[in-house]
Structure formats: structure tokens, C-alpha cells
Structure 1
Amino acid sequence: MSGRVFYLSLQACLNALAIGVVAKGLVLLISLFTNLAFYGRFSFAENGPAGNQLGLFVIAVPVLGSLIVGVMARFGSKAIRGHGIPEAMENIILHQSRIPPIITLLKPLSAAISIGTGGPFGAEGPIIATGGAIGSFTGQVIHISAAERKVLLAAGACAGMSAIFGSPLAAILLAIELLLFEFSPRAVIPVAIACITGGGMHLLLFDNQPVFAMPDIPAVSDKALLTYVLMGAVIGVVAAGVSRSVYWVEDLFEKLPIHWMWWPAIGGLAVGGIGYFAPHTMGVGYDNIKSLLTGQVPLLLILSLCILKYLSWVISLGSGTSGGTLAPLFTIGGALGALLGAGVLHLLPGSDINIATAALIGMAAMFAGSSRALLTAIVFALETTGQTHGLLPLIGACTTAYFVSFFLMKGSIMTEKIRRRGVATPEEYTPDLLQQLSATAAMQPSLVSIQEQMTSATVSRLLEQQPCYQAYLPVTDAGGRFKGYLHRAGLAADNAPAALPLIPEKNLPYVLATDNMQTVTTILGSYPIDVLAVLDNSDHKQLLGVITAADVLAAYTRHRIKDAKYHSAFYGNIRLLRVMARGKTILARS
């Protein structure tokens, strides 16, 4: 086990080094396409579309870029559409973490074209998808298990996020909350090493300052904290609406009587039209987030980023183009938070509300409510701003946003797409129950006691007196020590020998009393036997009992019923218990 973890960690680290370079390349490509499309110059200098002088021609730029992305999706790979994380989740759940290698090329290129021509997206979604594709590809090349490939996929995806934003801890939490569906050393250690490596690549290739550096915010008072918590509840309502609207727009595009290849161009038309009146809504918009966090943004710009940025983003994303959701959600949430903060100050001039703090908790609460990645949102806001005084209001606002969104929407912006396709994602991360139960929890005494000195005739008479359905029966010596299995088919043969047709113990498996049920199920599923001998832990191999597949299911169900009773008492959901009780009644009558 430890050797495999070391091997995966080494591979994850090597992948992260490559992903860091890819992340830098993606940012440079976005800058190049932005300069070419809006300023007509070949330059990798960081620049946004807001300063363009194209006039009405600016409407055509996003349309052209979206047309190119549509063609790439049609003739390259349809998987480049969307914002990356749902697609990664679907590959983990349905396709054994296998992502086509072509995604490693097409996803960053299509995203760079989309964002560089004005698409209102962030670079994080595409690099997460690309990093995941690199992790999956290396996992396919080195021929590891699907579970280990999942770890490399998650490690690659989150290393990309860490490389872009310099937020390794938030990236680790993102993997746990949205991709891994587990918390174990086997999974977390390689992911953590990859994210740390990605963070190191950020320092090497980007900067050592927080990505969204902002002026120091004051310590929060008790009244201000309560206000921020209530603001989080409002943002949670908006977050649920934002998540629903993305898929509502997608449904509208599904009804169009034209091929989906042309949909991004329609989304690009909306981006260009809105961008003509509000240029700041186009492009990545990290500078918009930085401006909001100063607390000194004019009200008109705040309204523009809150409403027009949302419209541009939701239409473009719903059209199926390529781009990320994190930066737009942060922009929209930050603008909404600043707007709410300004409203509170207007109504209560003497309150302790700080506009910059309101913008900070707004952007994090919007992400927490939309994605249901609570811890990721809190830590990401802290890592990318370096504002420790923001911890309390962030926890309060993000938690209430998560709470409200949870009751208003079944899925999230990350899971709704695949949920509609019938793919269920885990809603809670609990330890595997089979790992918690020992073999003795399902063990029962052997129904028939067969000893190796018995003859076939004796055993046949014994089975007539004590009927049992198992095809394989454990055999012991006179002292009760396990000697092997008797296959009943050998007794029924016309030329059955007088001595027992014993299958030696060395040829078939057994389990020890201290083994867990996961070991039991693995063995039962791997060998052509319907009963498994349970031995004590000494060298004497004393037979303690047997386990069948039915015993495993019964033990599992007993413990699940205990959990169901607890959860039903807590949540008031007794439907599961009624179903189980009805099943028991039917079995009892039969």
C-alpha cells in the first residue's frame, strides 16, 4: 500500500510540473488572442478587451471566436464544451477516469480562443480539465487501476488550479469535495503533493503575491458579522437561481432547430452585444475582481458586473462554448456583495460594514452556494487575498449560502449537468461500511459438520438429514482444524469414490476472524465458491464458522438500517424504514 502511494505521488508530482507549464502557456495564449482580436498586434502582454477601439465591430469578435470553438468541438472532440469540472466528474464516475488524450490539446486551445475573443470566462476551468486529462492519460499509459487513475486525474486537475491561482490548500479541498469522493491517504497524499508542486510552479512562472491582493480589511464586529451572515443567505438564494439559470439556458439552446456546432456563435453574439455597452464584462476579468475588492468601485460598474456580466456569462456558457465558471462566479458574487454592503451602509450609515469585506464574502459565498464546495470557497478566498480578518465573515456567509442553496436546489452548478444524464454523485463522504465490519459480523456456524475421515456415503446421509443449499462445504479434521472444501457435485456422481472428494485447503481461500468484510466480498467475487471458511487468528486454523454472500448482504443491511433509523429520526424521512419493514413483512409471510 505505502509503495503504491509513493509511486502515485511521484507520478502526480511529475504531472504537476508539466501542468504548471501548460497553465502558463494557457495564460499566454489568452493574452495573445486578446491582443490579436481586439488590438491587432502580436503580443503576449497581459491585456483585457475593455480598452478596445473597435466600436460596433467588437460584436463580431466573440462571434468569430465562438464559431471556431464550435468547429473544434464538432470535428475535434465534443468533450471540450462546458466548464471542465462536471466533465471530469462524469469521467470519474462512468468511464473509469479515462479522458481522451486529445483533450489535453483541444481544451486549452479552445478555451484560449474563446476567452481571448471576449468570452466572459476564467482560465481555471480549462486548466482543471486539461490537468485532469494529463493525469488520466499518464494513468492509462502506466497501466494502473481505475481507482489509482482517479487519483491522478484529480491530482492533475487540482494542480492546474493551484498553478493558476497559487492556492494549493484550496485545490486540495476542491479535489476532496468535488472529484475524489473519498478522504484516504491513498488519495489525499498524491493530490496534496501535486497541488503543492502546482503552487511552486505558480511562484516560479507567475508571481509570489496573492492573485487578488487587496487592502487590509478591518477586524469584524459582532453586528457586522451578523450582517455578513444574513448577506450570505441572500447570496445563497441568488446562487441557486444562477445555477438553475445556466441549465435553463442550455435547455433553450437544445430546442433550437440548428446543429449544436452553431450554438456558441449565438452565445458569442450575446457576449459581443453586451460587451459593446459594457466592455468590462468581456474576457477573464480578474482585474474586475481586484477592483471590487478595493471597495472603491463606482455603483454603475458594480451593477454592470453584477447583472450584465451574469447575462453575458450565462448565455455564453449555456450555448456550450469552452470556459470556466469560478472567475465569473467570483465577479458576479463580489459585485452582489459590494452592492448589498453599499445598500446596508445607505440604510444604516453608522454600521460597521466594510465594502471590501462585503465584496470578499460575496464572491466566496456565491461560489460556495453554486458549487456546494464550502471549504474550498472559504480557503480559496483566504489564500488568494491573504486577508485573515476575513475568516469569520467568510465562514458565516459561505455556510449560510451553502445552507440556503442546499434547500433550494437538489444539485449544484457542478453536478446538475451529469445528474440530468442519470449520473448520481455521492452526497456524503462516509467510510466504506464493509471496511468497518469484521468477518465475524456476518459469520454463522457451519450448518453441517463434516470431517475428513468421513466417507462419501456418510456425508450424503448427513446432508439428507440436515439440508443446506451451499455447493461447497468446509471440512475439518477431528480437532476442528480446517482442511479444505467438499464440492457436493463430487458426491452426486455415479462413480463417486468412497473417500471424500476433498479439495485441499491450499487451493481455495479462507478468511481470518479479524479480516474485514471488504476482504470477504473480494474473495467471494474472485473465486467460484459460495461459502467461505472463517478461521481463528492462530496457526492452528480452527474453523470458527462460514460466510455466504447472503450473510454479507444481511450484515450490511442490518447496519444500514441502524444508520437509516438515525437519519430518519433526524431528518423526518421514514420512507426508507417503511420500505424495509414492508419487505420484512413479506418475507415473514412467505
Structure 2
Amino acid sequence: MSPKVAVLKPLSSAIAIGSGGPFGAEGPIIMTGGAIGSLIAQHFHLTGGERKALLVAGAVAGMTAVFGTPVAAVLLAVELLLFELRPRSLLPAAVACAVAGFTRPLLIGSGALFPMQTLPLGTTGLLSCVCAGLVAGAMSWGLSSALYKVEDLFGKLPVHWMWWPALGGLAVGVGGYFEPRALGVGYDVIGDLLHNQLAISVVVGLILVKAVIWVIALGSGTSGGVLAPLLMMGAAAGAVLGPLMPGGEPAVWPLIFMAATLGGMMRAPIMATVFAFELTHDANVLLPLLMASAVAYGFTVVLMRRSILTEKIARRGYHIYREYGIDPLERHFAEEVMTREVQTIDANMRVADALSVHFGPTQKHRAFPVINNHALVGMLDREALLKGREINASSIIQDLFGANVPIVALPGETCRTIANRLAVHGLERLPVVSDIATRNLVGVISRSDLVKPSLAHFNEEERRELFRRTPVHGLRKRFMTADRRADEDRSDSA
């Protein structure tokens, strides 16, 4: 990221939000923190992954500074920004959020941003939480779809793109005329919604105007954050539907809808749950928050290809993960997939003899390990052998390698490490030795061997098996067609 982002982003956002733009201040602060982290990383000899970790650390520290939610900010880094849980990325994010959390009371104040205390939900609240999650998921899908449709419409306008924010500002002004509470950051309005201090008619108008002007303004390219608007619209939906929800007091539903909307829109249900808890410090709502956020997340996973934050990146041509997990190559070692029965070549054999014996019409392998007194010398293929014959056909194979140290693999190394080594050196196979000192050959691992972990992963994730038959299974087969029944019988026997 360039230094101008750290300067222009907060400046443009301050103008947009200060003039009534329906955005949150957290977006520019997160962007500014990310820019600072990226700029610091550029002054050190770091890898691309390490620079990304510092960028994210600065971003989530900015989120902590705004909302006072350090744990939720760390979860945001894991669930949405990095898609990994490794010391390299977790430690910078955790330390940055902790520092921001400790220094925040010196500048802003301590305690929860929206403190509240509600009563625990009864057992009938479970169904209500499911309904809240479905409504929040549907709202997330509708807002995200509308946002990018509006963005596409702006792209089709016969005017220069620099005029788009002006058109968005016009829509914001019209909406603010009818509902002034929809303008600006709106943290005070969120507090009123969470404490049910607004009339239902006011809340209905607020959510409609806020949704329209936010979608138009953000789709026009105006700078601003999305967290605060989502919190406001989610809390407003809860304030409207809360009196209809059984199993809990009406005051709890704005918070539950707010967290569910955030979890569904951003595809981060755990972060949304912890975020809502840290905003209020209300431990009684942890379970309802988790239930509603999980349902909203599942709803959007089914209907939305990506979250609202990653859709724009995907539109630029970058692949965005929908989920993260352990790389199959990290779960297996070289000794599990390597070929143990290896045909070798004696290092003292003449070049001409090796060419006729091992690289003749009956050649079985593209390359062979070369051994000298049980110690590996290197890997020999036809191309290297032909070059050696051109120099001196009577020389021995040992002379072709000289003092070069062979590139090898160890039995305890992961397949991911070996795959990286093959890619870096442009090789197709590596000899596997027991240790570096003796270089005693124990096998050979090739690119084709590295496919085996992926095949095992596919069988584990995709192959469905039935170990015990139940009466329901037998009843289901009774109504199958003959062909389908025969196919399932073959699958069961396999």
C-alpha cells in the first residue's frame, strides 16, 4: 500500500462522513491502520505473507481503537482477512489489538461502547433465534445484492467516474431531508435502538432510508465504512420485530439481529458473536448471539458466493477463499508417499555404459539416483548424461556431478515443504535420504507422488459411506427404481 492511502483515505472519509455520509468511521481507520502496518513492513526484509500479516495487524488495531473489541478484531483477522491461524499472523494481530485496547481508554474512554444487561432467554427463545438468523441472513443477501447492482449501474452511466460520488451525495441529501437520523456515523442512534428508545414508526423509516442512501452512496464509490451502517440496520430490524419474538424480553432482539446481520454479511459468525458481546458486556446473550449468527451465516453461504467485503476484491480478478482448512500436503510426510523400491546407478559406472544400460529402449524411469558407497551423489537424467558423453564418453558418472551438493528430501518433511522445493528449483523428483550427513538413500518422491494426499483428502471429504443399515434406509430403498437400487447396492458393497 502506498503512503498516499494513509493520508487521503481518512481525509476523504472525514469529508464524506462529516457532511452526513451514512458510513461508519471504522472503515477509514481500519484502512489507515492497514496502511501504517504495510508502510512499516516495507522498511524491513520481509516476505509477502509477513507484510500481509502486519497490514492486517494495523487494520484490526484500528477496529479495536474504534469499538473497544480486541478479541473480535483478532477473530476478524482470522475469519475474514487472513484465512489462516498461524503464529506468523496471529501474534502480530493479537499484540496490535492488545496495545490498541490498553491505550484506547487514554484517548476515548473505557468500558463497553453500548453497555446493557438483559435477562437470559428461555427455551422458546431457540426458535426465535433461528427466525432472527433467517431474517438477518435474508437482509444481508438483499443489501449485498443491491449494493453491487447499484455499483454496476453507476459503471454504465455516461459520465466520468469522478462524478459518481456527487450523485451519491445527492441521494444522501434527499434521504437525510426525510430522515436526518440516517445521516452520519450514527453510533448514538445505535445506542437508542439497542435500548428501545425510538418509536416503531421512526425505526421503520430509519431502516428504509438508511438502507437506500447507504447502498447508493457506497455503490457510487464514496469512501466510508460498512460496520456502523450494518449495526444500525440490524438493530433497527430487531427493534421492529422484537415485540413479535417469544422467549425473551424485547430489549434483547436489537442486539441479536445486529450480530446476526453482521455475521451473515461478513461471513464471520464467531467474530460477530464476540463483537456484540464486547460492545455490551452482556454475557446472558452469548448463546442467542451464537445461534442467530450461525443461522444467518449458513443462509448467506447458500445464497451468496462471497461476503460483501470480498466481492469487490473478487471483481478485480483475485480469487477469494470461502473457507479455510489444513492443506492436505501439510498432513502427510515424505515417507508416507515416496517410492521405496528405487533403481540406482553406480557412480563409478562409465557414462557410455550407463547410457546403454539405463537409458536404452528398456528405460523405466526418467531419472535415477546415483550412489557411491551407499551415499547419494545426485539425480541423473538423459539430458545430463548426453552432455557428459559429448565431453568424454569414457569418463565415469561421478565426474558429471563434481563437488555439487545434491538437493534432497528427508522422510520427516511434509509434502508441502517438498512441493515448494520442487517448484523453487524447477525439479520433478527428489531423492529421499535418511539424514543429511550420510545421505543414505531410502526412496524417491516425485510430483505424481504429491497427488496422493489430495486423493486421500478427496475420499475423506467427498466419498459417502454407509456402515449400518437402519429401517429408514430399507424403507427408502423399497421405493427406489431398480437401477438406482442396484447402483446403491454396488456402492455399499464397495
**What is the TM-score of this pair, normalised by structure 1?**
0.74
- In 2, the alpha carbon distance for the partners of 1:304 and 1:244 equals 21
Q: Say which of 430, 439, 448 aligns to 1:532.
A: 430
Q: How far has the Cα of 1:565 moved from its partner?
A: 2.5
* 1:467 equivalent in alignment to 2:363: yes
Aligned partner of 1:262 in structure 2 is 163
1:481 aligned to 375, 378, 383, which one?
375
Q: 2:293 aligned to 373, 386, 398, which one?
A: 398
Q: Work out whether residues 375 and 441 of structure 2, in 8 Å CA contact, stay in contact via their aligned partners in 1.
A: yes
Of the three residues 439, 442, 457, the one matched with 1:544 is 442
Larger CA deviation: 190-199 vs 542-551:
542-551
Q: Give SS of 2:368's match.
A: strand
CA distance in structure 1 between the aligned counterparts of 2:330 and 2:195, rounded to whole angstroms: 50
Matched, 1:180 2:82: yes
Among 210, 231, 234, the residue aligned to 1:309: 210
- Pair 1:277-2:181 in alignment: no
Match in the other structure for 2:459: 562
Q: What secondary structure is seen at the aligned counterpart in 2 of 1:121?
A: coil
Q: Conserved in 2, the CA contact under 8 Å of 1:453 and 1:477? A: yes
Q: Contact 1:484 / 1:505 at 8 angstroms: preserved in 2?
A: no
Contact 1:305 1:331 in 2 (8 A): no
CA contact (8 A) 2:350 2:393 kept: no
**Alignment partners' CA distance in 2, 1:408 and 1:485:** 52
- Secondary structure of 1:407's counterpart equals helix
Distance 1:491 1:504 in 2: 12
Find the counterpart in structure 1 of residue 7 from structure 2: 105
Matched residue, 1:334: 235
Deviations 1:82-115 (A, max 9, x none): xxxxxxxxxxxxxxxxx12210000011111100
Shift of 1:224: 2.5
After superposition, the Cα gap between the structure-2 partners of 1:489 and 1:197, relative to the gap in structure 1 and judged at 3 Å, is: farther
Is 2:29 the counterpart of 1:134? no
Partner of 2:448: helix, strand, or coil? helix
| Structure-2 change in CA distance of 1:511 and 1:133 (3 Å) | same
**C-alpha displacement of 1:454:** 1.9
Aligned AA for 2:24?
G
1:176-211 Cα deviation digits (max 9, x unpaired) = 111112111111111110111111221221110211
1:524, CA displacement in angstroms?
1.9
Which is further off, 392-401 or 506-515? 506-515
- What's the counterpart of residue 456 of structure 1? 351
**Does 174-183 or 443-452 show the bigger shift?**
443-452
Answer yes or no: is the 8 Å Cα contact 1:483–1:504 preserved in 2. no
Looking at structure 1, the residues matched to 81 and 100 of structure 2 have their Cα atoms a distance apart, in angstroms, of 17
Match of 1:116 among 7, 12, 18: 18
Instruction: Tell me, in whole angstroms, the C-alpha distance in 1 between the residues paired with 2:427 and 2:177.
Output: 71
Shift of 1:465: 6.0
Worse overlay, 419-428 or 129-138: 419-428
Aligned equivalents of 1:336 and 1:441: distance in 2?
55
Runs of 5+ unmatched residues, structure 2: 467-494
Cross-structure match for 1:435: 330
Looking at structure 1, the residues matched to 222 and 237 of structure 2 have their Cα atoms a distance apart, in angstroms, of 25
Counterpart residue identity of residue 437, structure 1: H
- Distance apart, 1:481 and its partner CA: 2.5
Is the CA contact (8 Å cut-off) linking 2:79 and 2:268 kept in structure 1? yes
| Cα 1:148/1:343, change in 2 over 3 Å | same
Query: Does residue 1:287 correspond to 2:168, yes or no?
Result: no
Q: Which residue of 1 aligns with 2:413?
A: 515
Q: Are 2:162 and 1:251 equivalent residues in the alignment?
A: no
Question: Are the equivalent residues in 2 in contact too, given 1:121–1:324 (CA < 8 A)?
Answer: yes
- Distance in 1 separating the partners of 2:463 and 2:16: 49
After superposition, where does 1:89-100 map in structure 2 within 5 Å? 99-100=1-2
Give, as a single letter, the amino acid of the residue that structure 2 aligns with 1:550.
S
Partner amino acid, structure 2, of 1:428: E
TM superposition shift of 1:432: 2.1
C-alpha RMSD over aligned residues: 2.1
Cα pair distance change 1:495/1:118, threshold 3 Å: same
Contact 2:193 2:254 in 1 (8 A): yes
Q: Choose from 217, 231, 241 the match for 2:142.
A: 241
Structure 1 residue 494 displacement after superposition: 5.6
Give the distance between the partners of 1:524 and 1:410, measured in 2 at CA. Answer: 34
Does the 8 Å CA contact 1:369/1:405 hold for their aligned counterparts? yes
Q: Contact conserved, 1:120 with 1:313, CA < 8 A, in 2?
A: yes
Contact 1:163/1:200 (8 A) holds in 2:
no
Alpha-carbon distance between aligned partners in 2 of 1:551 and 1:273, rounded to the nearest angstrom: 64
Change (3 A) 1:415 1:565: same
1:237 and 1:408 in contact (8 A); partners too: no
C-alpha contact (below 8 Å) 2:351/2:389 kept by paired residues: no
CA distance in 1, matches of 2:340, 2:244: 72
2 CA distance for matches of 1:540 and 1:150?
A: 40
1:496 corresponds to 2:397 = no
Map of 1:329-408 to 2, 5 A cutoff? 329-344=230-245, 351-408=246-303
One-letter code of the match for 2:363? P
Partner secondary structure for residue 53 of structure 2: helix
Asked if the contact 1:484/1:504 (under 8 Å) is kept, the reply is no
User: Normalised by the size of structure 2, how large is the TM-score?
Assistant: 0.88
Over 3 Å counting, the alpha-carbon distance change for 1:538 and 1:148 in structure 2 is closer
- Identical residues among aligned pairs (%): 42
Question: Structure 2 counterpart of 1:264, which letter?
Answer: P
Would the aligned equivalents of 1:439 and 1:515 in 2 still touch at CA under 8 Å? yes
* Range moving further from structure 2, 154-163 or 193-202: 193-202
Instruction: Give 1:453 deviation, angstroms.
Output: 2.5
Q: Hey, what's the Cα distance between the residues in 1 that align with 2:341 and 2:387?
A: 20
Structure 1 runs of 4+ with >4 Å offset: none
Which secondary structure does the structure 1 equivalent of 2:431 belong to?
strand
Report the counterpart of residue 419 of structure 1 in structure 2.
Answer: 314
- Report the AA paired with residue 57 of structure 2: A
Distance in 1 between the 2:326 and 2:379 partners? 34
Q: Distance in 1 between matches of 2:6 and 2:436?
A: 53
With over 3 angstroms needed to count, the CA separation of the structure-2 counterparts of 1:538 and 1:137, relative to structure 1, is closer
